[in-house]
Structure 1
Amino acid sequence: MAELGLNEHHQNEVINYMRFARFKRGLCLKTVDSCFQDLKDSRLVEETFTVDEVIDMLDGLRTVVHSEVESELINTTYTNVLLLRQLFSQAEKWYLKLQTDVSELENRELLEQVAEFEKSEFTASNKKPSTDLIKPKLAPLNEGGSELLNKTVACLQEENEKLRTRLKTVETQANANQDITELENKVAALKCQFEKTLNDSTANQKFLEEDLVTTKHDLLKVQDQLSLAEKELEKKFQQTAAYRNMRELLSKKNEQIKDLRRKISKYEPED
């Protein structure tokens, strides 16, 4: 049996459409046949006709058949558009974008494959009862009962749970990282403050040590200058007349004292 490369459900849908198309085609052919039959019944009542009469009858027949065939072809086109609309409408509910290749509609190999499929499905020996081939319409997606929809929803829910779990993990890690970051910032601030205090203390200590050394140097310098000043003052004082007179007076007094002691010693009794 010929196949179209579709799953069973879609192949049954194709069979239903082909049955509809065969029915419409049969009606069209019956209409064309009736046009010829009407011509026979209404015009072919005489045994002989002139050329003009035959041409007139054929023109009339052509006009009627042309109108009927054109009307049926237009209706077939509109019917195909409605069929595509159903398919596209269902696809859009799944946010799908279907594409068609018009060039494939004239693919002779594929057309022959469809013809073989129709022949195998609708021949008298393989023809199934009409009750077996009539399929219900596809249920709209918003009325439930779609196994694929249920599976997709379940899959999305499972994925959503995974994302929620992942989000909680990330939030926990983020909070932990935030706590660690805050602690690191505090430690860094304390370290910076300690280093600043230590540097200030070291600078102050160095300044005090340098100031003490400078003060000691200044003190020694002042002491040395004072000693020199005292010596210079004493030297200058010794060079003054008052100093010389005082020394002479002091020397005289010492001589007088010595003389008085000699005199006193003469009057003292011997032991």
Structure 2
Amino acid sequence: MGVGYYVSVEAGVKVYVEDINPRGSRTVVFLHGWPLSHKQFEYQFDVLPAMGYRCVGIDWRGFGKSDKPLHGYNYDRLADDIRCVVGALRLDNFILAGHSTGGAIAIRYMSRHSGYGVSKLVLIDAAAPTGFTPETAESLLTEARNDRPKMMQTVTDTFFFQYVTRPFSDWFLQLGLKAAGWSTAAVIVLLRDAKLHADLPKILVPTLLIHGVHDKVIPFAQALEMHRTIRNSTLVPFQYSGHGPFWEERHRFNKVISEFIG
């Protein structure tokens, strides 16, 4: 059973949370990538709860079903939003899993909030320690401000290494278009300007790094850098994936995640 509800993270701003199998034995909190929503993890939510896990999907402010204020699109505030959800749900001893920009938010959560409640961390093609190059950011900003559907199609076309059907591509594109235009652009700027090098040594829990070898969004070399810097980290390359191993190699992905959770 999945339960959806809203959590207030500051005055006038609520974020959407989907809680699947609330009575599960271990809790995994999922943070989606830019500019998507918790629904990107459909192929985990179909499997992991049936294995006995509780899955909590959070839409960041500005994305998915969450409120879309004009402010708050920086790593500190986004990490603070996650801390509000953790407090509201009274989560403890949970696994925090973040994809792409969600991985960057997870890293800032670990450093800013001393990993409150987190027993293990999963970083999936995380946008760290850097995000977009200035050239990529400027191209995406231009499209976001003039033809956001075209920008989202560009994102979709470069996201996956494996073939995706037209219906899947259309579904994925619509996930991104549920975001606000201003939040979409603001996070592009965040990914261009913010760096997370200083955060990585502050991660003290066992960390699983999953990264597609063919990732064109966040190069595999960044996973190698994180692996060198994060103590007690394990890197698992996904040889047949681009930026989306959670779908491209979903059966192996779910197996690796479940084995790491224990």
With structure 1 as the length reference, what TM-score do the two structures score?
0.22
Structure number having the greater helix percentage: 1
Structure number having the greater strand percentage: 2
Whose Rg is larger? 1
With structure 2 as the length reference, what TM-score do the two structures score?
0.23
